[in-house]
Amino acid sequence: MPADNGKPENIATTVTEVSERVMLLIREEIELAKIEVMDKVKSLAMGLAFGAVAAVFGVFVLIYALATLAWGLNSLLGSIWLGFLIVFGVLIVGTVAAGVLAFRKFKVGPPVPKLAINEAQKIRATVTAKPESKT
């Protein structure tokens, strides 16, 4: 049909533009999801690195603190074995408590791009919504 009549060509052009924009929107949402997940993974990696450094220093602090505590209990109780046994019991309780806390924190699950998923759901709802009738 000729362009001056316009109806079929305008509809075809509009459909083409809409499909191109939807594809662009989908690509941008995928890119947003990738960026969001990468940011979360980088944050987790940095947290793990700092945690490892803190753990190394903490091990040395803990060794000296526990030896000091055991020898201090020896001075109070007069028995080196009893001092070290008490320190051992404290270590067992601390180990169990730390294990329980670690288990709770790791139950969170994998990083999920929540922002991108929410945006995609909003876009899907907008695209699939029925147009309002003008009466």
Q: Note the pTM of the prediction, 2 decimals.
A: 0.42
CA angle 58, 64, 65 (to 5 degrees): 80
Domain ranges of the chain: 7-125
Nearest to 28 by CA among 20, 15, 6, 82: 20
What tens digit of pLDDT does each residue of 20-66 get?
A: 998 998 899 899 889 988 988 998 899 899 999 999 999 999 899 99
Is the C-alpha dihedral spanning 43, 49, 51, 54 positive or negative?
negative
Please report where in the chains the tokens 């209990």 appear, as a residue. 73
CB atoms within 10 A of CB 9: 13
HSE-CB of 42 using CA atoms within 13 angstroms = 6
Contact 1, 7 (CB under 8 A): yes
pLDDT score of 73 more than 70: yes
Q: Which tokens go with 32?
A: 């947003």
